[in-house]
Structure 1
Amino acid sequence: MKILFISAFFPYENVSHAGGKTVYYYLNSFAKDDEVTLLTFVTKQDFNKLDHTYPYRLVPAKYGYTVKDKVLRFIMSKATKYWPLQKYCGFYNTYDEFLLKKKLAELAREKYKPDIIILEWTQCVLTRELVHNYFPDSKIVASEHDLSVVGFQRKVEAAEKGFTAKKLEDLKRLELGALAQCDMTFFHSREDLKRAKNMMPQCKDKFSSIVPYYDDYSTVKWKPTTKNIVFFGALNRVENVKSALWFYENVFCKLKDTSWNLVLLGSHPDEKLVFLSQQDERVIVTGFVKDIRPWLQNCACMIAPLVMGAGIKVKVLEALSAGVPLLTNEIGMEGINAENEKEYFHCQTAEDYIRVLDAFFDSADKLTTMSIAEKKFVKSNFDKEISYERYRDSLLHIAGKK
């Protein structure tokens, strides 16, 4: 089977973002069994991180390599953002479309004919019609990391600058329209799968899901030797910064026991978080940590008090796989059907977090039982190898190879 991956972002080993890790995992899994080509957008900085023994054919759409290139992309990106007649609702800029067309034309001229084309991320899903024009005989599959209309709607409801009801309707029309035209869509979240089936019942037979990649920490033996509350993720991302600050102000500062520590674990910490650690010695900002397992093993618990975001949260799966008691809310558990008080503590309000933490050590047996249940839950519901086998089997059927 010939598979063409078209990815909005460059997947490489040790890529920092969760979506890139998922693409990297499935890309390399397919490359063991099939003839795989990757067409991806790549900067010079990212390209230098590539292990050049990769088992697939790479077709890089390069940008940011020259000053002229950087200036041109910047100008065209701004034009895309503010041009009222933009085709992709700001998700895809004119310069990237130009690069994509160039690479698709190169592949078409050499008579390359993939059986399956996988469009990674909404950015690429929106180009479905363009891709189909170059490869009309190929089956086109959408790989939806997040159902973007969901996150966009939350930003509209929060009245975030630049996010309007008109743009939401435009995105809904574009995204759902593209998914309807794809031969199959694989959502990375079962909650997004459920939403899509409700939004588009006529397409439900073409919708499925896969398990997103997560680092499996099942070898961690949780044994709390500290009173550390751990929050981890890329600490320069706005959703993580807002969530950490919310927790500090509304929960951490109001706990009865002042011997707790708040550990903010992740790369590129925002200056607001660094300043916080300078003002309060109980707040520890680690910066990049190569191996987080010691932190997970010795902490008291992990939190994911997310105030925004959509789609499945890989950090939550990783905490559950480690058997670390987890406190999170509806956004954190989106697409993860774990049971409150059995596999995690559901905390929707600041008062919920305070209540759980103030009584946290009252029942050691309950925490140990929860730790065991978490690991069993992840193993039973989020097996990546089984997910890949089902994913490939579906593609073989779509391509008429089985």
Structure 2
Amino acid sequence: MKDGGAIAMNQTLECYIEQDCEISLLALNTSRHWVDESTLPIFYNKLKRFETVFVKTNVNPLSAFFNLFTDKSYNVERFVNKQVEQKFIELLQSENYDIIQFESIYTSPYLKTARKYSKAKCVCRVHNIEHVIWQRLSENETSIFKKGYLKLLTTRLRNYELDILKQFDLLLPISKRENEIFIQQNINHCHYLPFGVKKSDVNFPNIQTEMNSCYHIGSMDWMPNIEGVQWFLDEVWPEIYKQFPQITFYLAGKNMPLSLVSKESEHVKIIGEVEDFVSFSLEKNIMIVPLLSGAGVRIKVLEAMSIGKTILTTSIGAEGIGALSMKQIIICNTIEEFLNSFKFCIENPEESKAIGMAAKLFVEEHFQREKIYSELVVKLKALTQEL
């Protein structure tokens, strides 16, 4: 439950409960993001109904091959499951719901079922514009054959995504950029729903920051993270290490691929999954988010900003947040820009720290959790009154 998507979904559930909404949840417990139900947050006990179905979403080479001879998106087809549909029908027949919220387009194959068995308004939370992620991955791919396959996946996913999103009563994009793209596609039924943060004074007197350090943390089974970190270690880190041999880079995250584990050295530490994001981050100095592809908003960036971390990231890593470079975040897109920005932070520690503290104030002002969800509930109540 530590990757960005799961964190955002959990926040939505918790905030709906805080707003006195009555919630039933049907969750696809997938093979890639399988969760032990006994470890779920305590607020799950307040759900009216909670059902889970295990769904095997691993890429199957044979299924992927036969999919080539269809016009369907293989990305989406992996989430289609008869048991999920049956459980969904049981829920819809047991109660009259006002709102049915779908989390991402990967649950959208069940929209037809919702329309058939319920009169509820159907809402989709858009964590990313998925085809943009795959488009960027295909653009960065150097293998001709893999590039061609990624382009095919992108085209099919784009066609499906833009069509299905038009069929919902309301979209809840996680960033303003997604909102703008939808408007360009004549999809106007949107309500901006960013990830929210709680205003808090971060004060951990017993945690000492290792000043000669930088770090990256994220789900390391997500292709954009793997791609970005690989580029950073291959192209950027050697240049940083030449000038600052005292610096150590820490790489944390679940499901670390062997290609990155093999990069471990005296000054590159592969940590794997960590229990406490906040403590781990406060122990380190500069956060590195070298994304070359991806879409939506990086939840880990917002979380790090909320505790006053100084962040070096690409334009894609900062996308959808609205922070200004050298004001609340530091944006760098090339090897030289990363090197110069890193040098600035090491040689100007007080100015670097000030950018981190400005980031904290920025997210507290623009991503205030209680305000975000109170406005959402008002919007949803109004939606239920529409004919």
TM-score range relative to shorter protein: 0.7 to 0.9
* Residue in structure 1 matched with residue 191 of structure 2 by the alignment: 208
Contact conserved, 1:230 with 1:301, CA < 8 A, in 2? yes
Distance in structure 2 (CA, Å) of the matches to 1:328 and 1:99: 41
1:381 and 2:363 correspond: no
The equivalences for 1:136-285 within 5 A come to: 137-159=119-141, 160=146, 163-200=149-186, 203-204=187-188, 206-212=189-195, 219-220=202-203, 224-255=209-240, 256-277=243-264, 280-285=265-270
Q: Map 1:43-54; keep pairs closer than 5 Å.
A: 46-50=36-40, 54=45
What is the CA deviation profile of residues 8-30 of structure 1, one whole-angstrom value per residue up to 9, with x for unaligned ones?
A: xxxxxxx1221112112211322
Pair 374,100 (structure 1): closer, same or farther in 2 beyond 3 Å: same
Give 5+ residue unaligned stretches, structure 1: 1-14, 65-69
Shift of 1:164: 4.6
Q: Is contact 1:140-1:184 (8 Å) kept? A: yes
1:33-73 CA-partner distances (Å, limit 9, x unpaired): 12211122236863343468621133535236xxxxx7xx8
Letter of the structure 1 residue corresponding to residue 21 of structure 2:
D
Percent identity over the alignment is: 22
1:367 aligned partner, one-letter code: S
Q: Is contact 1:343-1:370 (8 Å) kept?
A: yes
Query: Once structures 1 and 2 are overlaid, which stretch shifts more, 38-47 or 227-236?
Result: 38-47
Label 1:392 to 1:45 Cα distance change in 2 as closer, same or farther (>3 A): closer
Contact 1:187 / 1:210 at 8 angstroms: preserved in 2? yes
Cα-Cα RMSD: 2.9
AA aligned to 1:325 is: T
Q: In the TM superposition, what whole-angstrom CA distance separates every residue of 1:253-309 from its partner, at most 9, and x where no partner exists?
A: 1121211111112233322332221xx201112222222434433433111011222
1:124 paired residue number:
107
* Structure 2: distance between partners of 1:95 and 1:272: 28
What TM-score, normalized by structure 2, do the two folds share?
0.86
- Paired residue secondary structure (2:36): helix
2:349 is aligned, of 360, 364, 367, to 364
Aligned residue for 2:80, secondary structure, equals helix
- TM-score of the pair, normalised by structure 1: 0.83
- The 8 Å contact of residues 287 and 309 in structure 2, kept in 1 or not, is answered as yes
User: What residue in structure 2 maps to residue 56 of structure 1?
Assistant: 47
Cα distance in 1 for residues equivalent to 2:78 and 2:250: 41
1:76 CA drift (Å):
9.0
Moved more, 314-323 or 210-219: 210-219
Asked whether the equivalents of residues 253 and 274 of structure 2 are also in contact (C-alpha less than 8 Å), the reply is yes
Equivalent residue pairs, number: 373
Is 1:30–2:21 an aligned residue pair? no
Q: 1:316 to 1:85 in 2, by over 3 A?
A: same
Find the partner of 1:102 among 64, 86, 105.
86
Equivalent position amino acid for 2:286 in 1? C
2:387 is equivalent to residue 397 of structure 1: no
Q: Which moved more, 1:357-366 or 1:374-383?
A: 357-366
SS state at 1:231 partner: strand
Q: Secondary structure of 1:118's partner?
A: strand
> Does the aligned pair in 1 maintain the 2:309–2:353 contact within 8 Å?
no
* 1:51–1:345 CA distance, 2 compared to 1 (3 A): closer
Given the superposition, is the C-alpha separation of residues 216 and 297 from structure 1 closer, same or farther in structure 2, using an over 3 Å criterion?
A: farther
In 2 relative to 1, CA 332–100 (structure 1 residues): closer, same or farther, beyond 3 Å?
A: same
**Cα–Cα, structure 1 residues 47 and 362, in superposed 2: closer, same or farther, change >3 Å?**
closer
How far, CA to CA, are the matches of 1:166 and 1:236 in structure 2?
Answer: 22
